[in-house]
Every structure is written in structure tokens, then in C-alpha cells.
Amino acid sequence: MILHQLIDYDTLRIIWWALIGVLLVGFAVTDGFDLGSGILLPFAARTDLERRVVINSVGPVWEGNQVWLILGGGAIFAAWPQLYAVSFSGFYLAMFVILTALILRPVAFKFRSKREEPQWRARWDWVLFFSGFVPALICGVAVGNVLQGVPFRFATDMHIHYDGSFFALLNPFALLCGLVSVAMMVAHGAAWLQLKTAGPVAERARLYGSVAAVAGIVLYALAGVWMASAIGGYRITSAAQMTGPSNPLLKTVELHAGAWLANYAAHPWTMAAPAAGFAGLLGALAGLLLRRPVLALLAAALGIAGIILSVGASMFPFILPSSIDPRASLTVWDASSSHLTLFIMLVVTAIFIPIIVAYTTWVYHVLWGKVDEEAIREESGHAY
């Protein structure tokens, strides 16, 4: 027997659908608190020393957190090539904006302290705010557009045509999803700052984070009601070819009101995802109000995971529906790489993901503890 046939093709597709979710959650949870800290920087920290404390709380770890973004992009490219082709071409300008913000962040970290002029440093502080706010907002906007369907189609030769525009992405429902993303990142960043800082910075972060947690709960609930009442979902009306070739045009799909909620009725255990979203944000709010930073940080991470996974649970088996040609919608069953490719990737992932998790855990263990203002003063030549 050929080794890769030990796992069925349809099973591998499900595994890689789940792994993409894990990688997206990994990026949002690990990078979420430093994006949130960047958003909070001009507000939670008011003096130059306080802002240096905030920056140094995330400075040693933010680069490592980017590993999950790289892994996610690489996995989509290799495991779901059609998804990569459609999303990275259709959302090109949006992704360019995100990458611009992420590129400016290390520049701001390095350049901010090169000069002591207050105006110079203030400008770079707002760059750090921009580099936190924009990725959080645009990622949420992208999710909102995916839930509504993306305007793409396939020609008879399988050439992809995207008929949308950047500004069309900024529709009301997508912007609402973007605000949900910003709120959960700010709550996560506030929990991190409460854990890593002390004094006025921690107290201000606690206040802003509590407001963000409440806003996240309300906005997430509003998005759910909006999706249930006004956003039509997609449903496969032909027999699903779970082990067939990756050709999206071999099925028939129709737009159906309430289809995105059908999975919750068919598989009640999937309700755990949105429940975790609400419970996590509530736990983050409780942890912030009670000054329990570890509880707040872990709960905020749970909330982020639950919100992201609730999108995947509601859409399954769709991963990118088409609003102009539903038949072209990409699903778990018709957008993946070959059986052999998925198996080889799974073996590699099984080896390297535990190494990455172990190394990341060790780094956070070494860097555990609060960032002290006095230490920043004494190490002015080494700290950010």
C-alpha cells in the first residue's frame, strides 16, 4: 500500500480545513495582544517613559508571533491553492494595506528612540497605533466579506476572474465584523498590558480593555443577528464529491436564507464555538475588572478562538463562497491540493508545529514578569 493512502483523501481535506483554523487562531491569539497593545499605546500610556514600557512589553515577542501568519499563508498556498489564488488576487489591495502596516511596525520599533524630540517619537507612536488598528480592522472586514460571498467566477478553462473592488469590501456588515475584530484585539492587548505593566499604564489599559470587551460582546451579538436575519448562506444541492478532483464547477450551489445557521442545528456541538466567543469576552471583562490579568489574558484568547472558529463552523464545508456564481464557490471537497501533497504536508506539520509551540512556550517563560520603568531607565541603550 502507498503510504499516503493510509489516510483517506476526504479525511485529509477535513484535517487541513481544521489545521488552517488552528493556524488562524494561533496568529490571532499570539499576535492579537501586540496589535491590541499598539492600538492602546497612545491612550494607555501618556508619557514617553510609559510608552516605552508598553513598547518593551511586546518588543521581544512580536516577531516570533509573526511565525503563525507566515505558516497560515504558506499552508493556504500549499493545501488550498485555489483559495490562495482567489483571495490573494481579489483581496490584493486589502492585503497590501495590511502588509504595509505590518512592515511599518518594525520600522517604528527601531526608529522611535533614535531621536529624543517629543514630536518625532509621537509620530512613530501613531505609526504603531496604525500598524495595530489597520490589520485588526481589515482582517475582520475580510471575514465579513467571506460570509457574504466574494464576487469571483471561473472561466471554462478554470481561469479566475474577480469582479469586485477594494471599496466594495467596505460594506456595512463587513465593517461591523471589522469592529468586532478590533474590539477583541484591544481587550486582548489590555489583558497583556495589565499582566506586563503596573501603575497608571495597567489601570488605563484595564479601563479601555473593559470597554472593548463589552463592545466586543455587543458587536458580536449584533453580527450574529444580522447574519441570521439578512445575510443569506450557501448550500450544496448536488451530491458532494468528497474524494473527487478539485474542480469547483462539478457541483451545484444555491443561496439560501439561514444556511449559515444550518450546521448548528444539524450538529449542536458546533455551538461550542460561538459560546466560547461570548464566554471568553465575558471572562476577559471579569479578569480586567477584578485585576486578574492571567484570567483576562486566557479568557480573551478563548474569546478570539471562539469567534474565529464560529465562522468556520457556520460555513462548513464552504471556505470561500462566490456571490456572482454560487457554483464556483470553494469548498473543503473541491479546492484542495492532491492526496499526496496533503499527506506530506501533514507529516511535516506533525514534526514542526510541536517544535514551534515548545520554543514559543520557552520564550514566554524566560520573558515572564513585568516591564519595570526603572529597568527601562537603566537600560536606555538596550531597551526600545
**Residue 144 confidence class, pLDDT cut points 50, 70, 90:** very high
Model confidence over 23-68: pLDDT tens digits? 899 989 988 899 999 999 999 998 988 899 999 888 888 888 888 8
The pLDDT of 331-360, averaged and rounded, is 90
Answer whether residue 145 shows pLDDT above 90. Answer: yes
Structure confidence at residue 231 (pLDDT): 86
Q: Is residue 303 part of a domain?
A: no
Total structural domains within the chain? 1
| 188, 145, 103, 80: CA torsion to nearest 10 | 100
Q: Is the confidence at residue 298, as pLDDT, over 90?
A: yes
Q: Which region among 185-199, 314-328, 360-374 has the lowest average model confidence (pLDDT)?
A: 360-374
Distance of CA 109 to the CA centre of its chain: 22
Residue 289 pLDDT > 90, yes or no? yes
Give the contacts of 215 (CB within 8 A, at least 6 positions apart): 179, 183
Average pLDDT over the chain, rounded to an integer: 89
**Residue 154 covered by a domain:** yes
8 A C-beta contact, residue 316 and residue 289: no
pLDDT at 2: 64
Residue 381 has pLDDT above 70, yes or no: no
Confidence grade of residue 285 (pLDDT, cut at 50, 70, 90) = very high
In a domain, 87, yes or no: yes
Indicate the DSSP class of residue 335: S
How does DSSP classify residue 236?
E
The whole-model pTM stands at: 0.91
Beta bridge partner(s), residue 256:
233
Is 63 within a domain? yes
Assigned domain for 27 exists? yes
265: in domain: no
Residue 383, pLDDT above cutoff 70: no
The pLDDT of residue 360 is 85
The grid cell for 24 is 488562524
Mean pLDDT score, 203-228:
95
pLDDT at residue 301, rounded to an integer:
96
> What residue numbers bound the domain in which 351 lies?
17-229+337-378
Burial group, residue 368, by CB count within 10 angstroms (0-12, 13-18, 19+): exposed
Residue 4 pLDDT exceeds 70: no
The answer, yes or no, to whether residue 133 has pLDDT greater than 80, is yes
What does the chain come to in residues? 384
pLDDT at 156 over 60: yes
The residue among 167 and 18 whose pLDDT is bigger is: 18
pLDDT band at 379 (very low <50, low <70, confident <90, very high): low
For 57-101, write each residue's pLDDT tens digit: 888 888 888 888 888 888 898 999 988 888 887 788 888 999 999
- pLDDT of amino acid 28: 92
Average pLDDT over residues 283-295: 95
Gyration radius of the chain over CA positions: 22
Q: How confident is the model at residue 147 (pLDDT cuts 50, 70, 90)?
A: very high
Q: What percentage of the chain reaches a pLDDT higher than 90? A: 51
Q: Give domain status of residue 288, yes or no.
A: no
